[in-house]
């Protein structure tokens, strides 16, 4: 078994290395402009080797998405372990998400790629798709957990199903952060040009509204 497991470890570290290279190339040039030849060169392997480990260019991007999702989930789980009320946790998660997106825009784009591809049924079944969904589900679980805590400690109203509230909170946060992110990007929507307030104000406003909407 020892030999097999070393082989397995080799395979995984090789794949991690390929994902490293892809992450660099794709964050630099964008997914469409990045070519498999470039990724192979950066990873110092032949192009064919990429296809030994990943079924397609998209699959590599999904692997990047999984990586980012795991990092984000780690941060989310840390919020849950802090000594906060449920409502404070929810607020903290909102900020954590925003901060992560701001600091890791390339992971954000990878998340979007996954969700987009999923909602357009472009993805075939594969272990990577499953993993992406698993990661998404985990993130969702943290939000639901925080909501349940808030319902128990009396900081959040318990007239909603926590899962339902989780989906709403998740979707709304994603949307607001997306808008916020667009405002950050160099070439952003003109719609947002004459909006003078800062990102922080925007998110604070959102969290305030949601907060007072779900507060007991």
Among 15, 133, 153, 158, binds a second copy (CB under 8 A): 133
Among 69, 94, 136, 150, binds a second copy (CB under 8 A): 136
Among 20, 27, 47, 75, binds DNA (CB under 7 A): 47
> Using the rule CB under 8 A, is 85 a contact of a second copy?
no
User: Minimal distance in Å, beta carbon 53 to a second copy?
Assistant: 23
> Using the rule CB under 8 A, is 200 a contact of a second copy?
no
User: Minimal distance in Å, beta carbon 141 to DNA?
Assistant: 32
User: Minimal distance in Å, beta carbon 30 to DNA?
Assistant: 11
Positions in 3-42 near DNA (CB under 7 A): 3, 7, 11, 14, 34-37
Per-residue HEC secondary structure of the chain comes to: CHHHHHHHHHHHHHHHHHHHHHHHHHHHHCCCCCCHHHHHHHCCCCHHHHHHHCCCHHHHHHHHHHHHHHHHHHHHHHHHHCCCCHHHHHHHHHHHHHHHHHHCHHHHHHHHHHHHHHHCCCCCCCHHHHHHHHHHHHHHHHHHHHHHHHHHHCCECCCCCHHHHHHHHHHHHHHHHHHHHHHHCCCCCHHHCCCCCCHHHHHHHHHHHHHHHHEC
Q: Give me the residue label for tokens 């990873």.
A: 43
For the chain, report the end-to-end CA distance as a whole number of angstroms. 56
User: Minimal distance in Å, beta carbon 174 to a second copy?
Assistant: 4
User: Minimal distance in Å, beta carbon 29 to DNA?
Assistant: 10
Question: In the Cβ-directed half-sphere of 193, how many Cα atoms lie within 13 Å?
Answer: 5
> Using the rule CB under 7 A, is 46 a contact of DNA?
yes
> Using the rule CB under 7 A, is 45 a contact of DNA?
yes
* For DNA, the closer CB: 48 or 194: 48
Question: In the Cβ-directed half-sphere of 172, how many Cα atoms lie within 13 Å?
Answer: 20
> Residue 68 touches which of a second copy, DNA, none (CB < 5 to 8 A by kind)?
none
Token duo for residue 10: 């080799």
Binding positions for DNA, rule: CB under 7 A: 3, 7, 11, 14, 34-37, 45-49, 51-52, 56-58
Binding positions for a second copy, rule: CB under 8 A: 30, 32, 109, 112, 115-116, 118-123, 130, 133-134, 136-137, 140, 160-161, 163-165, 167-168, 170-182, 185-192, 194-195, 197, 201-202, 205-206, 208-214
């Amino acid at each position: 078994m020892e030999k097999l497991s070393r082989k397995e470890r080799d395979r995984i570290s090789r794949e991690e290395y390929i994902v490293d290279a892809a992450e660099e190339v794709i964050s630099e040039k964008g997914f469409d402009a990045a070519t498999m030849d470039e990724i192979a060169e950066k990873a110092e392997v032949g192009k064919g080797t990429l296809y030994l480990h990943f079924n397609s260019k998209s699959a590599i991007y999904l692997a990047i998405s999984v990586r980012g999702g795991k990092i984000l989930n780690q941060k989310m789980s840390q919020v849950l372990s802090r000594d906060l009320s449920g409502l404070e946790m929810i607020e903290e998660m909102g900020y954590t998400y925003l901060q992560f997106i701001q600091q890791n825009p390339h992971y954000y784009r990878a998340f979007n790629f996954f969700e987009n591809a999923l909602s357009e049924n472009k993805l075939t079944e594969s272990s990577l798709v499953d993993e992406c969904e698993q990661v998404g589900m985990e993130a969702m679980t943290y939000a639901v957990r925080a909501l349940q805590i808030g319902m128990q400690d009396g900081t959040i109203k318990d007239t909603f199903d926590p899962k339902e509230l989780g989906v709403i909170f998740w979707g709304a946060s994603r949307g607001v952060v997306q808008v916020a992110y667009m405002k950050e990007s160099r070439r952003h929507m003109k719609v947002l040009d004459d909006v003078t307030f800062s990102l922080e104000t925007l998110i604070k406003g959102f969290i305030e509204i949601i907060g007072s909407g779900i507060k007991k």
